[in-house]
Amino acid sequence: MLAVIAVPEFSSGDAAWIDSIRRAHDPQYEAVAAHVTLVFPFDSADPDWFAGHVASVAAVTAPLDVAFNRLARIDNPHQPKYRFLNVLLADADSSAPLTALYRALGGKGDYEPHLTLTRFGAVFSAKAFERQMGMLGAAMTGRIAALEILNITHGAIRREAAYPLAG
């Protein structure tokens, strides 16, 4: 299965906070960075065409400044083993360009731009984490400068390609 993500670059303080949370709570910490998913995992009939499509979208898209201003918990229908995600939701100004990028890559339906922090198999664990974290202080701001294609096979995650945003 293929997916497309963007890994925002954060200030050193925000990056350290995100890293500490993920290191303690995300079972996929070693496999994939905190990221915004722009194409959810799917089986591609033509991986070469898909890579070309992602590269062409990246070539006409300028780097994006993003901000994530609140914690939330969402269901993850794309990965049954980790059904509940604790995330940072994008603020209103960041949501529109991320949604436009999602659509340019072929996304359809509802989309809630978010930064994945942690994954849990049971909702009570995700809720407990959410209670422990409380409210987020100031928004975490970052910059998205590239798109990455991930290949997910039997639970293993491999980075296939990265394309800089150059528009």
**Tens of pLDDT along 37-74?**
999 899 999 999 999 999 999 999 999 999 998 887 77
pLDDT of residue 17: 87
Q: Alpha carbon of 103 to those of 27, 68, 84, 106, 113: distances in Å?
A: 29, 20, 24, 5, 12
In this prediction, residues 15-28 reach a mean pLDDT of 87
Mean pLDDT of 13-37: 89
**pLDDT score for 69:** 86
- Asked if residue 59 lies in contact with residue 91, where contact means CB atoms within 8 angstroms, the answer is no
Residue 80 is given by DSSP the state G
Band (96; pLDDT cuts 50, 70, 90): very high
SS3 92: helix
Counted domains in the chain: 1
Q: Which residues of 123-153 are buried (b: 16+ CB within 10 A; e: fewer)?
A: eeebeebeeeeeeeeebbbbebbbbbbbbbe
What is the domain extent for residue 44? 2-164
In terms of average pLDDT, the best of 69-78, 114-123, 142-151 is 142-151
Q: Which helix (H) or strand (E) holds 128?
A: helix 123-133
Is residue 127 predicted with pLDDT exceeding 90?
no
The two structure tokens encoding residue 62: 């300028």
pTM of the model: 0.87
What pLDDT does residue 137 have? 64
Instruction: Give the pLDDT of residue 154.
Output: 86
In the structure, what pLDDT confidence band is assigned to residue 76 with cuts at 50, 70 and 90?
Answer: confident
Which CATH number does the domain housing residue 141 bear? 3.90.1140.10
- The answer to which of 21-35, 78-92, 106-120, 153-167 has the lowest mean pLDDT is 78-92
E strand spans, 24-155: 36-42, 64-75, 84-90, 114-120, 140-144, 146-153
> Higher pLDDT residue, 46 or 28?
46
